[in-house]
Amino acid sequence: MPKAKENQFVKKGIESVEDLILFFPRKYYDFREITLIQDAIPDEYQSIKGIVKEIKTKPNAVILKVEDSKASIIYVTFFHQSYIAQKFTINESYIFCGRVSVTYGYRKFVSMANPILYGPSSELNPGILPVYSKIKGMSDDYLKRCMNSAYSIVRSDEYLENSIIKKFDMIYFRKALQYIHFPKTTEEINEGKSRFLFDELFFFNLNLLQNENNQMKQSPFEIDKFELSKQLMGELPFELTEGQRNALRMISKKMKNKERVNALIQGDVGCGKTMVAIFSLLMAVENGYQGALMCPTSVLAKQHYEEITERFSSFGIKVAYLSGDMKIRERKKVVKAIKEGEVDIVVGTHAVLSKDVEFQSLALTIVDEEHRFGVKQRELLQLKASKGVHTISMSATPIPRSLALTIHGDSIDVMNIKSLPKGRKPVETTLITVEEDSYRRIYEEVKSGRQAYVVCPLVEESNSDMLKDVESVEEAFAKAKTYFEPKGIRVGMATGKMKQQDIDAELEKFANKEYDIFISTTIIEVGVNVPNATVILIKNAERFGLAQLHQLRGRVGRGSYQSYCLLLSDKATEMGRRKLETMCETTDGFLIAEKDLELRGTGDFIGTSQSGQDKYVMLMLGNTDLNESIRNEVKDILKNPIRTAFYKHLLKKEE
């Protein structure tokens, strides 16, 4: 394989044959049935059979006039492919597979642009076409050839016991791969998905229950001094909420009694979970131990680092920041200090999990936005300490207690912080259908000295033909500059295509008030803390999940000013409207979480980009009976040493 192609795969996270064969299609097009032109459904992918009546060649396009058996006409256009005209003969029959467009003017006009498949009717026998997420720089044909090669060499070893396959009435692993990548019927697709759904839940439960079996209920750490905590409490310019106090009482009591803390702290955006983390870290450090706080993004990690450093400035506590984008010399210095015990608290990203990061006396691990991490990532952090390490997970995406126990194990303590700190005003949320109205609202806030966010949906290249009404960040930036800059308002931008350090630099400029308006995708969803930002405009709001909309709304309302969330949408489906209505009706994250689960239902998470805990939450919710059966099966396996040994190689599979 050429090095360039190998690099393209690596950038997509595909580094082995196994990675490739487990890179599942995100959807399928069924081209098996021929559709009459008169029956074609607008914007659906269909097969059309007809005779080529005319071939017109233009500078940038070849246009075919095609007539089917009912004398209906479709115009098939090939853009930027002048050579294509030679492949067709007048009065010959062909099949064209692609997205059909229908417009109504003086008369009905049916068309298809750049068919996915085409060929003579006598030769082409279209079937079900798998559609994969786009790999930048790679053609669909090249990916298909690689997938064929990967399937031909993948081992046929089955990693589940025969008894389980029979008990749950499943197909074998290799057969499931065949059905997923090369299906002949929709039934095969469903059978393949069912097998991999089982595998996902099986791996998750196997690792979770094994990890829980290995955990100690007691803790070896002596934590009985709390003087610094009392001192910090007295220095705070505000009072802790009842929810924060309850969480800290439970944590300090368990630590003092040498019971292992294993807690999930859930609370709305801005409810004060970070203060609970700060006090918990202080308890560990005052008693001679180290603490670690891991975050999903460097922006969030930096913010926590700065706040913790400031809070502990009078205590002589050494706080270090660790991330993957640090300079090598600086990183080595920090890693050495952690190992030698010269650092009390480490705040960082996934970089904290690196093999060379060793702690001298780690007693407390905290994971923020924990749903962004997989089971194994959380476990890796715990493994850097002695058995019995205290662990706290924090999440602004609440889930029901019963589900939390399923995901984290029965030993988890779920603490909900429901009250907001004093002085915080609920964010006012409004649905807007005219963009100019939202610009006027933003202008009013900015002229008052405040700042604003504008968020656009992330659009995959491969979906661009379906998303002509969805504005990209670049387009939104150009439009905003045209409107605001003549008024003396500064506009900044960041996209997912930029390097992380460049994104961080732009966000820092916004935090430092060098920009009045900041335009981006959902990269601001987690942890960006700019108290002066009072308005967020979310474009094409119907395209976001309810929980994600609520997370984005949490970027404003972080100071004492009244804040606003503007949901711009004029094309929402019934489901979309219900979602946006919920956002306008409540700011309660717990209510929103319940409504989100109700609206989303099971979803189809096999082959999607869902990662970390999010994927398993939805899989479990949609398959509660199956998950319970698998959980019971796994418990039986772990009670039997022979069966446990059979699955030993899988206990590190889940990431």
**pLDDT for residue 116:** 92
pLDDT at 624 over 50: yes
Residue of 588 and 288 predicted with greater confidence: 288
**pLDDT for residue 67:** 96
pLDDT confidence bin for 650, thresholds 50/70/90: confident
List the beta bridge partners of residue 57. 62
Once rounded to an integer, what is the mean pLDDT over residues 92-99? 96
**pLDDT for residue 219:** 87
pLDDT confidence bin for 424, thresholds 50/70/90: confident
The pLDDT mean for the chain works out to 87
**pLDDT for residue 525:** 67
**pLDDT for residue 384:** 85
pLDDT at 499 over 50: yes
Once rounded to an integer, what is the mean pLDDT over residues 569-578? 81
Q: State the Cα–Cα distance between residues 616 and 597, nearest whole angstrom.
A: 13
Residue of 612 and 197 predicted with greater confidence: 197
Q: Is 560 helix (H, G, I), strand (E, B) or coil?
A: coil
pLDDT confidence bin for 607, thresholds 50/70/90: very low
Q: Which helix (H) or strand (E) holds 173?
A: helix 173-181
DSSP 351: G
Q: Could you tell me the CA-to-CA distances from 485 to 225, 454, 515, 539 in Å, in that order?
A: 56, 15, 11, 20
Q: State the Cα–Cα distance between residues 378 and 655, nearest whole angstrom.
A: 10
**pLDDT for residue 489:** 95
List the beta bridge partners of residue 3. none
Q: Which helix (H) or strand (E) holds 111?
A: strand 108-113
pLDDT at 466 over 70: no
**pLDDT for residue 612:** 53
DSSP string, 570-592: SS--HHHHHHHHHHHH---HHHH
pLDDT at 333 over 70: yes
pLDDT confidence bin for 71, thresholds 50/70/90: very high
- Least confident range from 186-195, 267-276, 321-330, 367-376: namely 367-376
Domains detected in the chain: 33-126 (2.40.50.140), 227-417 (3.40.50.300), 428-586 (3.40.50.300)
pLDDT confidence bin for 460, thresholds 50/70/90: very low
Nearest CA to 110 out of 61, 46, 57 is that of 46
pLDDT at 347 over 90: yes
- Least confident range from 232-236, 272-276, 467-471, 541-545: namely 467-471
pLDDT confidence bin for 605, thresholds 50/70/90: very low
171 dihedral zone (left: phi>0; alpha: psi -120 to 50; beta):
beta
Cβ atoms of 289 and 359 closer than 8 Å: no
Query: Quick one: what percent of the chain has pLDDT higher than 70?
Result: 93
The tens digit of pLDDT for each residue in 2-26 reads 889 989 999 898 999 989 999 999 9
Residues in contact with 177: Cβ distance below 8 Å, sequence separation at least 6, in sequence order: 21, 151, 154, 192
The tens digit of pLDDT for each residue in 155-182 reads 767 889 999 999 999 999 999 999 999 9
- Least confident range from 45-59, 95-109, 120-134, 618-632: namely 618-632
Query: Quick one: what percent of the chain has pLDDT higher than 90?
Result: 55
DSSP string, 386-401: -TT-EEEEEESS---H
- E strands along 238-316, which residues? 262-267, 290-294
Residue of 420 and 86 predicted with greater confidence: 86
Q: State the Cα–Cα distance between residues 582 and 586, nearest whole angstrom.
A: 6
Residue type present at position 232 = L
pLDDT at 210 over 80: yes
pLDDT at 597 over 80: no
- Least confident range from 54-68, 408-422, 604-618: namely 604-618
pTM above 0.75, yes or no: no
pLDDT confidence bin for 280, thresholds 50/70/90: very high
**pLDDT for residue 459:** 59
- Least confident range from 216-220, 307-311, 322-326: namely 216-220
